[in-house]
């Protein structure tokens, strides 16, 4: 195609040159004919004829040069085309070779992917088996740990009970269980309570305040029997070493649902004997058969203790759960403390006692119900009053104390 275009271009150039030459020759002929007709006798100058001849020779020469140039361009185009064809043939050979290599690589890659998938399945299976073994081992360790913890807790309780029965610090028992007990009075009602806080109140500008934990029904009966106590306050007898202190008290918080109330004493004295409540974190350690001590003011007497055990941890009454104790109690014990015998920690508030018969009910003194200390914590925390109860962990009695003389 390129060669044809080149030949056509050369032919057109030659035709244009011949046409120009023909026109010049025609003008010469016309001029000569005119001169002859006019008979002017003027001869054509030799210079014009020479110039015309030179123009003819130059035109012919340019035509020859154009043909040589076209021939050279044609040869160059042919050479470039042949070189391009060779290059394409080489690329085609390389592409064919590459296709075979690519197919080989693709096969190897597919096999590698299958091997990797198989390895992954094997690793997943091994991991699952290892994880199952580890989980089983950890489960067994946790079970053994829980069993050891339960055995250790039981052993400590047994040691504490044994130590408490053999080695009894009567002075400490009096200070920690009897003297924190108070008596609440009105004209016709008597009940018990336990001092749970006495000292600077951290949330009331460090003012010295004292609080008693008791049963709601005790305060309710006092207010009902003696209406003036609603604005005058009711009598609270505080027991010190060898003396008594009569103070006024007012109920500042109550929760009938768990039969609990908090009474504030009208005094700025720091009372020396405050009960140590069982910490919330230890409340789940209480179990049936645990030895306990019930302290209260039955029938208006000064605080008296009675010992027994936890009989039951599940006694639903009006939607609340109570613990049952078999320590002998009577009317007037309501609101008094139930203590863990070995550590002398407050674990509940005595609430109710069973009676038998309708016309003349008979009290069953070894069937008493108490409000658990964990319900008291929940109630006080709900009203932002949980700081008004003193609690601290108590270490179990050391076996070496078994050899100490009784006081």
CA distance 88 to 96: 12
Ranked by mean pLDDT, the top range of 55-69, 195-209, 215-229 is: 215-229
CA distance 279 to 393: 7
Contact 220, 270 (CB under 8 A): no
Among 372, 373, 319, 328, smallest CA distance to 354 is for 328
CA 160 to chain centre: 40
* pLDDT of residue 324 exceeding 90: yes
Q: What pLDDT, on a 0 to 100 scale, did the predictor assign at position 52? A: 61
CB atoms within 10 A of CB 56: 16
Burial 253-272 (b: 16+ CB within 10 A, else e): bbbeebbbbbbbbebeeebe
For 211, residues 6+ apart whose C-beta sits below 8 A from its C-beta are: 195, 196, 197, 198, 252, 262, 263, 264, 265, 388, 389
DSSP 1-57: -HHHHHHHHHHHHHHHHHHHHHHHHHHHHHHHHHHHHHT--PPPPHHHHHHHHHHHH
What are the CA-CA distances from residue 337 to residues 90, 274, 286, 288, 327 (Å)? 106, 12, 15, 18, 12
For 48, residues 6+ apart whose C-beta sits below 8 A from its C-beta are: 28
* pLDDT of residue 388 exceeding 70: yes
Domain ranges of the chain: 2-92, 170-399
CA distance 268 to 272: 12
Among 273, 308, 277, 82, smallest CA distance to 180 is for 273
Q: How many CA atoms lie within 13 A of 156 on its CB side?
A: 12
Ranked by mean pLDDT, the top range of 25-29, 74-78, 160-164, 262-266 is: 262-266
Q: What pLDDT, on a 0 to 100 scale, did the predictor assign at position 320? A: 92
pLDDT band at 395 (very low <50, low <70, confident <90, very high): low
Q: What pLDDT, on a 0 to 100 scale, did the predictor assign at position 361? A: 81
End-to-end CA distance of the chain: 133
Contact 319, 337 (CB under 8 A): no
Q: What pLDDT, on a 0 to 100 scale, did the predictor assign at position 92? A: 62
Q: Return the minimum-mean-pLDDT range out of 16-25, 162-171, 177-186, 361-370.
A: 16-25
Q: What is the mean pLDDT of residues 60-89?
A: 64
Q: Return the minimum-mean-pLDDT range out of 28-32, 67-71, 184-188.
A: 28-32
Among 236, 226, 231, smallest CA distance to 192 is for 236
Phi, psi of 205 (to 5 degrees): 55, 35
Q: What is the mean pLDDT of residues 54-78?
A: 63
Q: How many CA atoms lie within 13 A of 294 on its CB side?
A: 34
CATH architecture label of 170-399: Beta Barrel (2.40)
Condensed to tens digits (0 to 9), the pLDDT of residues 173-221 reads 999 999 999 999 998 899 999 999 999 998 887 899 999 999 999 999 9
Ranked by mean pLDDT, the top range of 93-97, 207-211, 389-393 is: 207-211
Among 284, 287, 219, 296, smallest CA distance to 251 is for 219
Contact 190, 333 (CB under 8 A): no
Instruction: Report the mean per-residue pLDDT for the chain.
Output: 80
Among 19, 26, 75, smallest CA distance to 11 is for 19
Q: What pLDDT, on a 0 to 100 scale, did the predictor assign at position 28? A: 47
Angle formed at CA 225 by CA 221 and CA 228, multiple of 5 degrees: 110
Residue 359 tokens read as 């016309």
Q: Which residues pair with 181 in a beta bridge?
A: 194
């Amino acid at each position: 195609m390129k060669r044809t275009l080149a030949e056509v271009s050369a032919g057109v150039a030659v035709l244009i040159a011949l046409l120009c030459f023909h026109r010049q020759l025609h003008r010469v002929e016309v001029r000569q004919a005119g001169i002859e007709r006019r008979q002017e006798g003027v001869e054509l100058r030799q210079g014009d004829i020479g110039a015309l001849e030179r123009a003819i020779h130059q035109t012919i020469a340019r035509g020859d040069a154009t043909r040589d140039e076209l021939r050279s361009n044609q040869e160059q185009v042919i050479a470039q085309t042949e070189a391009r064809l060779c290059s394409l043939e080489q690329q085609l050979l390389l592409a064919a070779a590459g296709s075979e290599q690519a197919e080989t690589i693709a096969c190897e890659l597919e096999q590698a992917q299958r091997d990797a998938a198989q390895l992954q399945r094997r690793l997943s299976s091994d991991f699952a088996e290892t994880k199952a073994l580890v989980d089983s081992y950890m489960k067994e360790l946790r079970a053994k740990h829980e069993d050891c913890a339960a055995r250790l807790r039981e052993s400590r309780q047994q040691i504490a009970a044994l130590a408490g029965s053999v080695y009894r610090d009567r002075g400490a028992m009096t200070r920690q269980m009897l003297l924190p007990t108070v008596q609440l009075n009105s004209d016709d009602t008597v009940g018990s309570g336990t001092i749970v806080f006495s000292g600077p109140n951290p949330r009331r500008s460090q003012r010295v305040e004292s609080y008693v934990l008791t049963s709601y029904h005790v305060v309710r009966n006092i207010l009902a029997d003696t209406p003036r106590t609603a604005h005058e306050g009711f009598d609270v007898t505080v027991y010190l070493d060898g003396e008594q202190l009569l103070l006024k008290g007012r109920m500042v918080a109550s929760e009938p649902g768990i039969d609990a109330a908090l009474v504030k004493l009208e005094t700025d004295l720091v009372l020396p004997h405050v009960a140590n409540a069982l910490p919330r974190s230890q409340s789940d350690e209480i179990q049936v058969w645990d030895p306990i001590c019930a302290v209260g003011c039955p029938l208006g007497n000064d605080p008296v203790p009675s010992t027994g055990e936890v009989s039951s941890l599940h006694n639903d009454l009006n939607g609340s759960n109570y613990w049952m104790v078999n320590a002998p109690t009577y009317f007037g014990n309501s609101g008094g403390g139930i203590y863990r015998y070995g550590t002398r920690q407050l674990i509940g508030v005595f609430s109710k006692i069973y009676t038998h018969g309708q016309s003349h009910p008979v009290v069953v003194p070894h069937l008493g119900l108490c409000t658990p200390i964990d319900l008291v914590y929940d109630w006080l925390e709900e009203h932002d009053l949980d700081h008004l109860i003193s609690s601290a962990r108590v270490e179990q009695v050391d076996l070496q104390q078994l050899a100490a003389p009784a006081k």
